[in-house]
Structure 1
């Protein structure tokens, strides 16, 4: 979706049956994820909301493959295991429809092994992509032109996005809402779905370190404390002290849990705060820099543009026109 088309649009989800015509449970799960995010109107958050098309074989679908034509976003959930294992070819008409949709300007998205379909259409060549880490070796072997990253939750190459399995698909869907309708709308929707408002795409797919006994999160209280004070100077040493950890241990725990360093986590949260303020207030950019903890207007512009891809002024314009 281009800047001029900023907002909700048509989302087409493509179901890929196995050789018997059956849809896998994972496919149906990921369809339900997309349906929860894009198929249930939330007019109080954004009006119009998305239009959802389910494309594929009856009785699950509302459209055939012709439903991909004109869609703003095309999502391919998991494909059958036989496709992943090389025992089943993807239908030629599906591959052609994916190529045509991409050529028509649609944003192409895969969940988990749906990446095999995008790869078969040549849409991942020269790009970084992810999927469930269990399938990464097979995808890389069959499609060497794809840079497969099995460690992250999702990737965003603007026009092509991919996610790992299960909950990562929901993370990616909320990421799409955040790109289309802003951080405030995505956060409100996440609250309704009772899930985290934002998990960075670079967060690891799995955490090797076990949780403490009792399931307590030792980082939760200190990170919540930091979120309430993003406008203040915050150091890693201070956060580590409040977490009752050494700076080295705190750094390691944050990286294990969030896939990034404490300083990068702070930067991500401050940019997210700036997004929310740009969407919901008319504060000048200088003030937003202060309120988000990014400092001067120049510093805000530098970090915001590098993270979000557009300047603060251009981002705000999308919500005020």
Structure 2
């Protein structure tokens, strides 16, 4: 990226970090638009988005190594850098959402393994250990495969949790883990492709069209799963079907995911100009972020208990939700920070030497 782009990203990251610190240590939840019916919003959607991207990037590293006879190469290393940075910033999102990030250590001191998210949290720690083993040891292959397995485990845990917590009122919750896997594969490949294109066209050209092909297949597979989600949801209870219709016609789903993240990229991804290919991956990443947001947003648009709105009245008690300026600032800042950190590490440790 050019100097101007880097400066813009640095400013966005700084603004996001300051907004996050203000939310945690000064203002609290008053600067968010979360109500009792919408306990989760933009930050949680970015958390599950980046965790999925992290897993998908790890699987991308396994894929490119498999194409090289099972041995990791520079693109494998880039994949694991993208994976580690994505997971770190994903956890930063959930830490800010909780309001007391340091309290998260209680999960490790007093674990309750009946919770799928507790299991996922422990798996994050094991995953970081695998990444450290990959980067710091000579037995890269072993840690590479272990990381891929652990990534699949925490995506499954999250898919099962959110399939029951968010999606159960709208559609078949068991489809949600599958959607988590397809979206993870797609976002992971897109993230690796983008960061490699920004850092070294040479490394990207060594891979040929393999990543593009996997990206297209992953995108189409995810579209099929979402079509099944829509059909099941529309065939359900009338009140739930109305929510599904609202979701399908919402700007995050229809505008960002279907148009920006699906239709347009499919027309650009095989263009010969590298700029068009990079643009297609950016659009896919934006579209999948919109998809994750719509998933969380509309999953909580039905009252958790019937008639609860008639029993309790307050301005902040609502099933509607629009992220506040602080929420947008933090989200944009953290995403910019992840891009900066990944690019810095790749340029510092990969593009100048062999993996």
With normalisation by structure 2, the TM-score equals 0.25
Decide which structure has greater strand share.
1
TM-score computed with the length of structure 1 as normaliser: 0.27
Higher relative contact order (CA 8 A, sep 6+): 2
Q: Which protein has the bigger helix share?
A: 2
